[in-house]
Structure 1
Amino acid sequence: MADTRSVLVVGLGRFGSAVATTLDAMGQDVLAVDRDATLVNRWSSQIPTVQADTTDVLALEQLNASDFDTAVVAIGDSVEASVITAGNLLDAGISDIWAKSVSKEHARILQRIGARHIINAETDAGKRVGHLVSGNYMDYIELEGAYNVVKIHTPGWAVGTTIADAHVNERYGITIIGVKAPAHEFAYGSNDLEMHRNDELIILGKQDQIDHFIRG
């Protein structure tokens, strides 16, 4: 697993709550914030929550926002509040900002003020974004049932080994669908394919199997 990071999630609508609960379930250090007391109370038994107006700089200071590695701005009902919050978080020193946009114009403003990741997402994408924000995966697709497809860089322990030598299926239960090496075409995951440090691996497996493979 990647190192645990601290993530401030602003907005506890369906999208924000999906991101926050996914990150919390993965063991990340999450604090979810909303100015709506009803939403805060609804989620307080599942994840760490606090009621605050993040358009207020003083409120963010009281939350020690500058201590967080990453922030997700999941405000969907007010473009103004979303933009002001993103700006306040950037001013607080959080450079890794993920912000949900509700229109092209909204996305353009967020980009201009310096939000690093713009999410043009519907609510059901929250779980995928949670996995991406956690830093474990370059991409993540949830399939029907228990299986996921993820894209990762070759784990350090597997660099220089072939798929067969790493016993990826026997030991971890995963399947390496393919490998994309820098400046090379995509190659299907044959047993004799050697994995290199900057290769991108496309993996199919259950969540715990994939995480086990990453740890080695």
Structure 2
Amino acid sequence: MKKQQFVVVGLGRFGSSLAKELIALGYEVLGIDKNDEVVQEMSQVLTHVVVADCTDEEALRSLGIRNFDCGVVAIGDDIQASIMSAILLKDSGMKKVVAKALSELHGRVLEKVGVDQVVYPERDMGIRVANQLVSPNLLDYIELSKDYTIAEMAVPKRLNGKSLQDIDLRVRFGCSVVAINKPQGVIIAPSASDVLTEKDVIVVIGTNGQIEEFEKEVIR
């Protein structure tokens, strides 16, 4: 089976971190940046790295970007270059284009030009860290949409030995446990009879309000 190929435009902190992780996961990555020093630094890490102007249609076409499965516009501080790059990647016929947005307005523009997925790294990380600071048992927090959240929570001592049926999340709060991470392994789609221990981590999905109520009433 052909290995998926990604192109990452902009190798700043976000772009380089993303590109390195894709490489670590076993994918091929072409990195593009206008800074020669950055390209030299990443040349030993990524599959291919080139110095190019990401707003130059001919330059991008010569790199064969239309043959890549997914393009990520990770430009950090030049909104105009970000939008132009996204347009060029979409126009090339690339299957999927993801772009980093610096603000809600920037994100709306990216959506208007056809970007398949807009990400807000700084905003999302701020939300996650804030929730972790006020909720010691909350290990991770990801907004799936403006209404739905998936949260990773450490099981407190008072839930030790209780089954999911005992807690009855779905009836009491409307949310669901989709996985239990135990020291001996992960249980995906656990049953009502599965028992929690203090060392477990549960993954819960629900609306923002449901998650907040469950965390306040049961986890804290």
Q: Does 1:33 align with 2:32?
A: yes
Instruction: Check if 1:14 corresponds to 2:18.
Output: no
The Cα shift of 1:22 comes to 0.3
Amino acid at match of 1:190: D
The answer (yes or no) to whether the contact 1:15–1:124 under 8 Å persists in 2 is no
Letter paired with 1:121: P
Q: Match of 1:122, SS? A: helix
Distance 2:10 2:85 in 1: 10
The residue identity in structure 1 corresponding to 2:65 is A
User: Secondary structure of the residue that 2:37 maps to in structure 1?
Assistant: helix
CA RMSD of aligned residues (A): 3.4
Q: Label 1:169 to 1:37 Cα distance change in 2 as closer, same or farther (>3 A).
A: same
User: Structure 1 residue 176: deviation in Å?
Assistant: 1.6
Question: Per-residue deviation at 1:45?
Answer: 1.3
Structure with higher Rg: it is 2
Q: Do 1:71 and 1:89's aligned partners in 2 also have CA atoms closer than 8 Å? A: yes
Which of residues 190, 193, 199 in structure 1 aligns to 2:194?
A: 190
CA distances 1:165-193 after superposition (whole Å, capped 9, x unpaired): xxx989xx5212645xxxxxxx66839xx
Kindly indicate whether the alpha-carbon contact (under 8 Å) linking 1:43 and 1:49 is maintained by their aligned counterparts in 2.
Answer: yes
Question: In the alignment, is the contact (CA less than 8 A) between 1:7 and 1:30 conserved in 2?
Answer: yes
1:130-168 residue CA offsets vs partner (Å, 9 max, x unmatched): xxxxxxxxx99999xxxxxxxxxxxxxxxxxxxxxxxx9
2:106 is the counterpart of 1:95: no
Q: 1:90 to 1:43 in 2, by over 3 A?
A: same
Which structure 2 residue ranges, 5 or more long, are not aligned?
Answer: 126-148, 154-180, 196-202, 205-220
**C-alpha displacement at 1:4, in angstroms?**
2.7
TM-score, with length taken from structure 2:
0.58
Aligned equivalents of 1:142, 1:25: Cα separation in 2: 24
Q: Give a deviation string over 1:11-50, Cα, whole Å, max 9, x none.
A: 0000000100000111101111101111111111111211
Which stretches of structure 1, 4 residues or longer, exceed 6 Å deviation after superposition? Answer: 139-143
Higher relative contact order (CA 8 A, sep 6+): 1
CA contact (8 A) 1:9 1:31 kept: yes
1:95/1:116 contact within 8 Å kept: no
* Residue of structure 2 aligned with 1:175, choices 186, 205, 209: 186
- In structure 2, what is the Cα distance between the partners aligned to 1:72 and 1:78? 15
Q: Identity of paired residues, percent?
A: 36
Tell me if 1:60 matches 2:84.
no
CA distance change for structure 1 residues 37 and 19 in 2, over 3 Å: closer, same or farther?
Answer: same
Uncovered stretches (5+) of structure 1, i.e. residues with no partner: 126-138, 144-167, 180-186, 192-201, 204-216
Cross-structure match for 1:4: 3
